[in-house]
Structure 1
Amino acid sequence: MVANPAHVASSVNRLVADDGIVLATQRWQGERSPGLVFAHGFGQTRHAWQGAARSLNARGFDATTFDARGHGESEHVPRGDYHMEQFVADLLLVAHDATPAGGRAPVLVGASMGGLLGLVAAGESDPARPPFSALILVDITPRWETAGVERILGFMRAHPDGFADYEEAASAIEAYLPHRRERKTEAQLKPLLRQASDGRLRWHWDPALLDGVVQESERYQPRLFAAAARVRVPVLLLSGTRSDVVSSHTVDEFLRLVPHARHVALNDATHMVAGDANDAFTREIASFMETL
């Protein structure tokens, strides 16, 4: 009998990166191997994975989520000096921490930015000692649709002065994600917002990320293609049929690049796959884990 995932306990911990930045992690202990490490997308937090991590842990899998630097409860980089190399190193650190002594490396579940970081980490590692047992890429390919990414960045830039209260923030998200049936509650919004000294609520992520990481992303594409071509571990690509970031063209291109990868499109899901179709998303991951 599977436990009720709402009642599965977890522990919140801290990891210190090589440059001293403290990362917030959360872990649900499980006995099944390999475990899972979840890497969120740009502008998200580890809380984007709560439902999936709990459900998969209830099936026995060890699950670790974390806030990328500059996001959520992880520290911001001084002077906003962000670079993709830092994020790759952080992901490798979390993966190492989640690997039991003498045990199997975890499976990465990476959404958007998290998936791209996973491709670099896996493709550029020693093939004899990969940091992940497998990759699950969530609505991301080495080439993305520019219009979809610009829509996301437009929302992130849209409220520089923040919000007067949680209701105003909920209305902004509702307008951005009109297909979602449920309106965000204050409890759901609290991990995503911080109250500034002026009393207004602002997003949890460091605004400096919009300059550093975003500007670097385009020039990373050749490196992403090269890394993807060197990935030898099992790969599952989960995409949303309503995504404007991943398309049939980018998926076909990726499958030619990584011919051993498997692709599953989830009906009615947008780029926010886990939030739009979490039950189907979790089932696909559980089914893939059984093949390892």
Structure 2
Amino acid sequence: MDSFASTRTTYCAADGVSLAVDVWRASGQPTLLFAHGFGQTRGAWNTAAATMAAQGYRCVSFDSRGHGESDRVPGGDYHMQQFVDDLLELARAQPEPPILVGASMGGLLGLVIAGETRPAPFRAMVLVDITPRWETAGVERILAFMQAHPDGFASYAEAAEQIAAYLPQRRERKSEQQLRPLLREGADGRLRWHWDPALLAGDLISESERYQPRLLAAAGQVDVPVLLLSGERSDVVSHRTVDEFMALVPHARHVQVPGASHMLAGDANDAFTAQIAGFIGGLQFSDAPVGAI
């Protein structure tokens, strides 16, 4: 298969916030729209998107506002609806309704949109280790890691050591090249995470908890094909939360990926992309014109 590199572009949201976007393949069928989790960047999808592009799919990923190379919200006033609106706008900006591949926060945003919007802007969804109700302990572990180093790191090696401790299932430590998109050097020479600290300091986290009734209601209205991928070692998704989701979305398909944690795509990318390819291969699509975003 050919190898595909991404093309960098931007998308301006309705409120003026600029989002960093990567596109693999200017043309291809269907379009896969990748939405990352809280505290991640579009780079989390690089391997998966390149793999799927090599199979003929057009792939699009983006940094959520306040993450990576996308703009931060002036004054740090973040709200969940902003993230919902950004994803909905991007989906509608595609030349055809895309298949959403949403991890954690990205999957929750997709559920809200697919359940509340008619016609649904997605032709199908892949939810990556997330359900409308989650295990609080797992989410608290993620937030604790994000809050653990407010003063940053003295070197990339120090950051790699902390990531390795957080993700002990990964065999290889991240290299400086892999870490550069995840860290910003401050005026004091310290390296700090790419996300806006205001994401953790405001009301956004408490808002996500209050969203659960809305998420549960939206899930019950989803009428597009759904694949739920969960990690065998996940501490965010459990048998309990999966069973509840499957009762709400009985037409969904669930696959548990052996050995993977909540960071499923990074832990088991080959198995991850194989499941997506198999799911898409079972869907029927009609030809549609391809645009440039």
Alignment partner for residue 91 of structure 1, among 87, 90, 98?
87
CA distance in 1, matches of 2:26, 2:195: 30
CA distance in 2, matches of 1:31, 1:59: 12
- What is the Cα deviation at residue 260 of structure 1? 0.3
CA contact (8 A) 1:240 1:268 kept: yes
Matching residue of 2:281: 290
Alignment of 1:157-176 (within 5 A): 157-176=147-166
- What is the Cα deviation at residue 106 of structure 1? 0.4
Q: What code does the residue aligned with 2:146 have?
A: M
Q: Secondary structure at the match of 2:8?
A: strand
- What is the Cα deviation at residue 43 of structure 1? 0.1
Alignment partner for residue 191 of structure 1, among 166, 178, 181?
181
Q: What code does the residue aligned with 1:235 have?
A: V
- What is the Cα deviation at residue 31 of structure 1? 4.2
| Cα distance per residue 1:77-114 (max 9 Å; x no partner) | 0111000110011001111222x1xxx41000000000
Higher RCO by CA contacts (8 Å cutoff, separation 6 or greater): 2
CA distance in 2, matches of 1:201, 1:45: 16
Alignment of 1:201-212 (within 5 A): 201-210=191-200, 211-212=202-203
Q: What code does the residue aligned with 2:266 have?
A: G
Percent identity (aligned): 65
* Structure 2 unaligned blocks of 5 or more: 284-293
Alignment partner for residue 125 of structure 1, among 97, 100, 117?
117
* Structure 1 unaligned blocks of 5 or more: none
Matching residue of 1:221: 212
Quote the RMSD (CA, aligned, Å).
0.9
- Is residue 262 of structure 2 the alignment partner of residue 266 of structure 1? no
Alignment partner for residue 108 of structure 1, among 81, 100, 112?
100
Once superposed, which parts of structure 1, at least 4 consecutive aligned residues long, lie more than 6 Å away? none
CA distance in 1, matches of 2:240, 2:225: 21
Alignment partner for residue 239 of structure 1, among 230, 236, 251?
230
Alignment partner for residue 74 of structure 1, among 66, 70, 73?
70
- Is residue 141 of structure 2 the alignment partner of residue 151 of structure 1? yes
- What is the Cα deviation at residue 30 of structure 1? 5.5
- Is residue 15 of structure 2 the alignment partner of residue 19 of structure 1? yes
Matching residue of 2:286: none
Matching residue of 2:124: 134
Matching residue of 2:291: none
Matching residue of 1:256: 247
- Is residue 32 of structure 2 the alignment partner of residue 36 of structure 1? yes
CA distance in 2, matches of 1:63, 1:154: 32
State the number of aligned residues.
282
Matching residue of 1:277: 268
CA distance in 1, matches of 2:28, 2:151: 45
| Cα distance per residue 1:46-85 (max 9 Å; x no partner) | 0000000000000000000000000000000011100011
What TM-score does the superposition give when structure 2 sets the normalisation length?
0.95
Q: What code does the residue aligned with 1:258 have?
A: V
